[in-house]
Chains A and B, each alone.
Chain A
Amino acid sequence: MDMPGGAFEGESHRPAQSYWNESWERLRANRIGVAAGVLLLVFALIALAAPLFSQFVTHFDPTRQHLLDNFRPPGRPYLLGTDELGRDTLTRLIYGGRVTLGVAFLTVALSLSLGSTVGLLAGYYGGWLDDVLMRIVDVFLAIPAIFLFILMSILFRPNAITLAAIIASVGWGGVARLVRGEVLSVKQRDFILAARTIGARDVRVIFRHLLPNVLPVLIVAASLGVGQIILIEAALDFLGLGIQPPTPSWGNMLTNAESYFFHSTWLVVFPGITIFLTVLASNIFGNAVRDAFDPRLK
């Protein structure tokens, strides 16, 4: 992708690098960051291939009950033990990962698209539109998030998609503010004026010239957001406001476990560690992406 501020051909003997190549190189040089990214990718692949795993590795179905085998400690054939209905913990964790990771990525996608649309419009047009949109953002950011979650999840019986919409309804405000701020500064630059002078329409200016310049900020916001969203989602599932049983998610596995963990420790330990590792990896990867891509850090 060619970017404003990138290199012109033949300007120098050393092939100058574009912003994207440079950032990519910086990211690749960060070994811990890359390791975290790989771990996330592995988790995502395992979650995607969940049916294969339950077929060939764990040999159990995520919702199939084995009532005679309830509360089995980790071992064989239940590698990570079973819960109160004799369901295999490992299989449920793998299937839960589908839901949890899916919701997380969908949430990021939703809040980024809504937030950046609002931010671009408010920042570019300014005036009364800016005032109105930003006051709406203020309101959404001031509602104590937890009440919004509660009411929204009563309103829409949560499944993976509505849950993502619910979490995104809180997250988009921050993105909108961020993008608006960025647009306000990019708007002042000469190439925008140049584009307008030669008669580019608003739509073209916004999509061809503003959006690519706001993209780095969006990438950073997205990669930093995933971890927090997984934590929020787990908390909502735990409170009974998120994914409903019998569909397993990492959060609602812990809700069930709360009643039995006095004697079956593994029911709390494994889902918790899975959430912890995933969030940890997302945060480390997110920080690495920020260090590599954020234009303001240079």
Chain B
Amino acid sequence: MLVKFIVRRLFASVVVVLGVTAVTLFLMDRTRGAYVPGIDLNPALRPEDIARLRADLGLDQPFYVWYVNWLWNVMHGDFGRSMIDGSPVMTHILERLPNTLELTLTAVLIGIVLSVPLGVIGALRRGTKTDHSLTIFSVAGFAVPQFWLGLMLILIFSVTFEHNGWPWLPSGGVTSPFGGGDLGDRLLHLIMPATVLSFFYLSLWSRFTRSSMLEVLSQDYIRTARAKGMSERRVVYLHGLRNALIPLVTLIGLELPGLVSGGLVVEVVFSWPGLGRLAFERALQYDYTTVMGVVFFTTLLVVAGNLLADILYAILDPRIRYA
């Protein structure tokens, strides 16, 4: 059953990936004919030079022809070369991916490690001051603009701290420009961006864990477990938490695509050379191949994330049967 379900989902996923890349290319094609804005205005280039440049990049063809060619190459593992700097798109992606993953995985990890206990505490002490302050914290966390939080942290921990001669945190980049690059240096650079990014996950997931936990604890099987004299600790952690975490898995699975693109704002604030910023900068420069490469890659992750969440769901919760 599960296999059949996965096969059907895989098929739907292919449709989604094709649709996403086609829509992206269509939008890019609509935005501008030239791949470099203002290339027509360059007096050093004769019209026939521009035409030759465009023909070399395949931009003289209608976008659907370009799309089919691109798709054919991608299926053969060739993502092409960047239209701006001529280096392979795959090199760009592989160069940026570790930075992005370093940032986002840290943030997600911090989010999970903190939000589950906080959610459980909120649920177990429902209605107390602790619960209320946790609720206020997460409602507030949900309303803070990420880029603003980033700027404020820079203002406090980089600017003010340095001003006062205290040990300060670097305000941008993955490593220090001179002599940096060891583990300690990387971690130092990671602290602020990861904090900002995890803040959102933290407020979202701790609320979710709390309500999910409350729902589970009111179930009959929990009453049964208590009635047969099981210790409260075992009831809460073995039966309660395990069942409460199932929906959280889906939620985290849905965030996986955000691992690549969701960090864009944070990457911009902290000058973090990640994948999101690559696509952002290249889209502004009409670098078709690079943008298509990143979009394709990200969409694959979206689809894979959803699929993974579904499968994990089926494994964690034996009540679920896929017809």
By a beta-carbon cutoff of 8 Å, the part of chain A in contact with chain B is 135-136, 138-140, 142-148, 150-152, 154-155, 227, 231, 234-235, 238-239, 251, 254, 257-258, 261-262, 265, 268-269, 271-272, 275-276, 279-280, 283-284
Nearest CB on B from A190, distance (A): 27
By the criterion CB–CB under 8 Å, are B303 and A231 in contact? no
By the criterion CB–CB under 8 Å, are B280 and A150 in contact? yes
By the criterion CB–CB under 8 Å, are B155 and A150 in contact? no
Known: A146-B280, A151-B24, A265-B155. A227 touches B143 (CB 8 A): yes
B residues 57-86 in Cβ contact with A at 8 Å: none
22 residue pairs of the A-B complex, CB under 8 angstroms, read A138-B16, A138-B19, A143-B20, A143-B24, A143-B295, A144-B295, A144-B302, A147-B283, A147-B295, A151-B283, A155-B27, A155-B30, A238-B147, A238-B265, A239-B265, A254-B145, A254-B147, A257-B151, A261-B151, A276-B140, A276-B148, A283-B142
The verdict on B291 contacting chain A, using a C-beta distance below 8 Å, is yes
By the criterion CB–CB under 8 Å, are B265 and A147 in contact? no
Main secondary structure, interface of A, reads helix
Chain B residues lying within 8 Å of A142, measured Cβ to Cβ, are: 16-17, 19-20, 257, 299, 302-303
Docked pose: A195 CA to B24 CA in angstroms: 44
The verdict on B298 contacting chain A, using a C-beta distance below 8 Å, is yes
B interface, size bucket = 35 or more
Chain A proximity mask over B140-177: 1 for CB below 8 Å, otherwise 0 = 10111111100110010001000000000000000000
By the criterion CB–CB under 8 Å, are B268 and A239 in contact? yes
Chain A residues lying within 8 Å of B268, measured Cβ to Cβ, are: 239
Chain B residues lying within 8 Å of A262, measured Cβ to Cβ, are: 155, 159
Q: CB-nearest residue of chain B relative to A271? A: B148
By the criterion CB–CB under 8 Å, are A139 and B276 in contact? no
Chain B residues lying within 8 Å of A143, measured Cβ to Cβ, are: 20, 23-24, 295, 299
Docked pose: A143 CA to B28 CA in angstroms: 14
Q: CB-nearest residue of chain A relative to B264? A: A146
By a beta-carbon cutoff of 8 Å, the part of chain B in contact with chain A is 12, 15-17, 19-20, 23-24, 27-28, 30-32, 139-140, 142-148, 151-152, 155, 159, 257, 260-262, 264-265, 268, 276, 279-280, 283-284, 291, 294-295, 298-299, 302-303
Nearest CB on A from B278, distance (A): 11
Chain B residues lying within 8 Å of A276, measured Cβ to Cβ, are: 140, 143-145, 148
By the criterion CB–CB under 8 Å, are A151 and B144 in contact? no
Docked pose: A167 CA to B23 CA in angstroms: 16
Docked pose: A261 CA to B147 CA in angstroms: 13
Docked pose: A22 CA to B30 CA in angstroms: 50
Chain B residues lying within 8 Å of A238, measured Cβ to Cβ, are: 145, 147, 265
Docked pose: A155 CA to B268 CA in angstroms: 22
Q: CB-nearest residue of chain A relative to B268? A: A239
Nearest CB on B from A246, distance (A): 21
- Since A135-B16, A265-B155 are in contact, a sample of 5 more A-B pairs with Cβ atoms closer than 8 Å, ordered by chain A residue number, is A142-B19, A143-B295, A144-B261, A239-B268, A271-B148
